[in-house]
A and B are shown apart, each in its own frame.
Chain A
Amino acid sequence: MTAPTRARRRRRTGAGRMIRNRLLVAVPVLFATSAGMFALGAASPIDPAQQYAGAAAFTTSEENLAQIRANWGIDDPLPVQYLRWLGNLLRGDLGWSTSRHEPVADVLAARAGWTLLLVGAALVVVLLASLLLGTLAAYRRGGWFDRALRTTAYAIQSVPSFWLGLAAIALFALSLGWLPAGGLTDITATSTDVADVARHLILPVGVLAVSQLPWFVLFIRDSVADSLRDDHVLAARARGLPGRTVLFGHALRTGLLPFLTLIGTHLPELVGGAVLVETVFSLPGLGAVTVQAALGSDFPLLAATTLATTVVVLAANLGTDLAYAAADPRVRLE
């Protein structure tokens, strides 16, 4: 057996052990999050039955509301409610959403896909754009491009994404008429076809990406600028390698390592931004229903969206750690 294969095998078993360990940690984390969710819900003074009644709450008698609460079993002690929820969860039943009037699983199935698509597409755009722009800015630090980019980044950072969305609608949908102002498909469309959805997602994805971009661009710029002064980059330049190879092949690659961690920790913020963008562009994603669930003390739906987000964040952390190990030979998976 040659030395490189042995090293690769050790690396692979290291990765396996790490995934196993992370899964073991994930279980108590998920327990704690869901229990915390229920405890917070119990502390909330909001009456879910009144929220359910909506405007009718003001003409509904107290017995009527009490009967509805009894039907839902939400007057039971908190541990009873939690254990019942947990038992149903283990049987694959996420429960009934009191704010949406449908099974939680149906809410997630109908909406999670659109939020994932929005966040995923925006993440790809953010990554590509920030790597390119940040590296170019770092190459001529203090040059006109760098200065312009930084000014724009700070300006965008200080603008609420809600406003950014309305401005984008005013420009691209109203003045120029290039893109639709909102919705998932043309309002008269009879089916959801891919091209139509793609056309409707350009503005929301663009706005979400632009609103998240400044952080990433500035980070890449600083990171690459620092590594341009590293010994191995100076050595590469001294060997007479072309500027572009040095910049993208050496400096950017070193600068990338901390960037991987940044993506993992920044994911929740991206999801938060998606909530606002979904509102502005009237997209049927998870954002609006999560807000509605929180306002209506809808524990089953809140617990499910919280769990889903926790799973995504844990998975993202695991993914970045694995990627880190793959990218940096100094990191060992033990």
Chain B
Amino acid sequence: MSRTTGVRLAAGTALLLALVACSSPTNPSGAPADAPLIVATAGEPDTLNPVLNYGVDGAALIFDGLVSRDERNHLVPALARELPTVSDDGKSITARLRDGVLFHDGTPLTARDVVFTYQAVLDEKVDSTLRSDLDMLASVTAPDDTTVVFTLRYAYAPFLQRLTLGIVPAAAFDGQDVNKAAFNRQPIGTGPYRVTSWTPGDRLVLAANDRYWGGRPTNSGVVVAFVPDDNVRAQRTRAGEFDAAELPPKLASGFDTQAGYRVHKTPTADYRGVMLPMGNPVTGDVAVRRALNVAVDRAAMVNGVLGGAGEPAYGPVPPSSEFAEPAVAGAPTADPAAATALLDAAGWRPGPDGIRVKNGTRAAFSLMYPAADSLRKELALAVTADAKKIGIAVTPEGLTWDAITPRMGSDALIMGYGTPYDPDFVSYKLFHSDFAGQGFFNPGSYASEVTDRALRDGRAEADPARRKAAYATFQRQLATDVPWVFLTYLEHTYVVRDSVNGVVPRVEPHEHDVANSIWWNINTWTRRS
């Protein structure tokens, strides 16, 4: 009996396998023009609620903010009828809402929804990390159904840049805990796409919002595939599953020669650099910091470590920003002669082992990096090699963040930050002496009165020309004091199918997943069949 059953089972399995093998595989390259566009990314959001940090910098596909950004990252009105107006003292901002905007469930957008969204961020019961970015916001009110007034604790010039946060419908949260609401997985917004389904770990399916205030999307929908592993994502791209995929530079370069695909390199404001703490006897000496700054070979790092997908960095304001100060840019290659001259002049003399010594102190320090981050590891090794050439002994140490944080006050660290939108955003907390030693804000306790004043002027001044002057001062002072050795700006690389029209790369922040990737304007993309 068992034998015949076994034989039948085997035959059945073989038949099934044969059938499966015959059925044709997925081949979306021949997909009809109205099929949804398919994009792949590594980063899956934990939630789709803007209040809990989903797509806060706009281009959130499902949501709109009061304002959004065009291809040059300039603010344009979105749910606000025109750009919100700022009072003369800079502490009151008034937004008038666009008429006739509907949420995906058909209910109209009112000022109450905007007030609810921002109050939820400020509510201490809500687990929102966004509260740190809105610490200037005192209150939000709605004098009538189409007007919203933001009141600030202090004049804050770049406040409009914080209004890209997606607006959620207040009614969807009636009597619910925002942290645990079903909305966080099945959100309702005003954006060009509504959520059809979200299978965490697999994909997010979006359908075109036919009643979108900005005009119906030019495609029927978008599928976002979540593929965390880079190699797997590259393999699946090669198999033809995706119209656009985010890939690391080295994997993306494999598609340069593949017919039907184009590789896009997108500039970012995402920089990597070495934080040099003032509390360390070696890195606390400005001569050592300046010497390191000219001794590192940034061009070699861009070509070697980043595979060409990046550019040298000399400060925290990216060259693409209108606030960038060109005077701080140095030479992309190393200048060991200038570095050794700086060290000699400051009294750091070569010791018997080639490492310099001053007053009995060896020019040696530890350079920490998060062990799991291979890019930062390679940068740390490159810095170590460059420093050795000028007689400074750097010991690279790969550690976990919990081992790194207690040592940040006395040991150097490879860090990364950057946002393209306003120079105040990260730099204020990173370089102002008020934040010295506060966690990841200014961990090296850098303090300069000139920098402090420039940063304060930059956020308080409303006049663009005076802001620009303040940030020019700030960048020059950083270049003089060198609290960080800035190394490179990264580029994000994407592989996009040739048959897709409408791709417009723009400068990206560090975060790029469902929101704010090369598909920021996917609602205007089309596909040639």
Contacts and interface: CB of A to CB of B under 8 A. Distances in A.
The listed residue with most A CB atoms (<10 A of its CB), out of B179, B205, B231, B241, is: B241
Contacts of B25: 173, 177-180
B482 interface: no
Contact of A64 (B38, B132, B199, B201): B132
Contacts of B17: 202
Interface of B: 2-3, 9, 17, 20-21, 23, 25-26, 28, 31, 35-36, 38, 46-47, 52-53, 124-125, 127, 129-133, 135, 179-180, 184-185, 196, 199-203, 205, 223, 225-229, 231-232, 235-236, 238-239, 241-242, 400-403, 417, 426, 429, 438-441, 510-511
A47 B402 contact: yes
Contact of B201 (A54, A101, A284): A284
Interface stretch (A183-191, A218-226, A254-262, A263-271): A183-191
Nearest to A125: B13
Nearest to B124: A67
A84 B231 CA distance: 42
Contacts of B131: 61, 64, 67
B46 A54 contact: yes
Given A61-B132, A187-B28, A100 B223 contact: no
Interface in A281-311: 281-285, 288-289
Nearest to B201: A284
A280 B179 contact: no
B127 A289 contact: no
Contacts of A181: 232, 235-236, 239, 241
B511 A284 contact: no
A14 B200 CA distance: 46
Contact of A68 (B127, B133, B203, B441): B127
A288 B228 CA distance: 10
Which of under 10, 10 to 19, 20 to 34, or 35 or more describes the interface residues of A? 35 or more
Nearest to A47: B402
B402 A188 contact: no
A279 B417 contact: no
B133 A282 contact: no
A186 B510 CA distance: 30
A95 B26 CA distance: 40
Contact of B23 (A101, A183, A199, A281): A199
The listed residue with most B CB atoms (<10 A of its CB), out of A72, A128, A178, A184, is: A178
A288 B201 contact: yes
Interface in A25-59: 45-47, 50, 52-59
Interface in A144-194: 166, 169-170, 173-174, 177-184, 186-188, 190
B52 A101 contact: yes
B20 A202 contact: yes
A218 to B, nearest CB: 22
A183 B20 contact: no
A230 interface: no
A128 B13 CA distance: 12
A64 to B, nearest CB: 5
Given A46-B400, A61-B441, A284-B199, 6 more contacts: A52-B127, A58-B440, A59-B417, A62-B439, A96-B180, A282-B225
Contact of B135 (A52, A61, A169, A173): A61
Contacts of A283: 201-202
- Name the 9 nearest CB pairs between A and B, nearest first: A284-B201, A45-B402, A60-B129, A61-B132, A56-B129, A284-B202, A181-B239, A53-B129, A181-B236
Interface in A204-231: none
Contact of B125 (A58, A59, A71, A180): A71
Contacts of A279: 228-229, 232
A97 to B, nearest CB: 10
A139 to B, nearest CB: 15
A190 B124 CA distance: 39
B239 A174 contact: yes
Contacts of A60: 129, 132
Nearest to B47: A101
Interface string A94-121: 0010011111000000110000000000
A282 B232 contact: yes
Contacts of B235: 166, 169-170, 173-174, 181-182
A327 interface: no
A58 B53 contact: no
Contacts of A174: 235, 238-239
A198 interface: yes
A248 interface: yes
The listed residue with most B CB atoms (<10 A of its CB), out of A47, A53, A64, A110, is: A64
B146 to A, nearest CB: 32
Given A59-B426, A279-B228, A186 B26 contact: yes
A68 B31 CA distance: 46
Contacts of A282: 201-202, 225-229, 232, 236
Contact of B225 (A45, A177, A183, A190): A183
The listed residue with most A CB atoms (<10 A of its CB), out of B23, B179, B203, B511, is: B203
Given A46-B402, A174-B239, A188-B36, A59 B133 contact: yes
B472 to A, nearest CB: 24
Contacts of A173: 25, 235, 239
A173 B180 CA distance: 40
Contacts of B511: 55
Nearest to B23: A199
B417 A180 contact: no
30 contacts: A46-B402, A55-B511, A57-B440, A60-B132, A62-B439, A67-B124, A67-B131, A68-B129, A72-B127, A103-B180, A110-B199, A169-B235, A170-B235, A173-B239, A174-B235, A177-B25, A177-B239, A178-B20, A180-B25, A181-B241, A184-B202, A187-B203, A187-B225, A187-B241, A188-B28, A202-B17, A248-B2, A280-B229, A282-B228, A284-B201
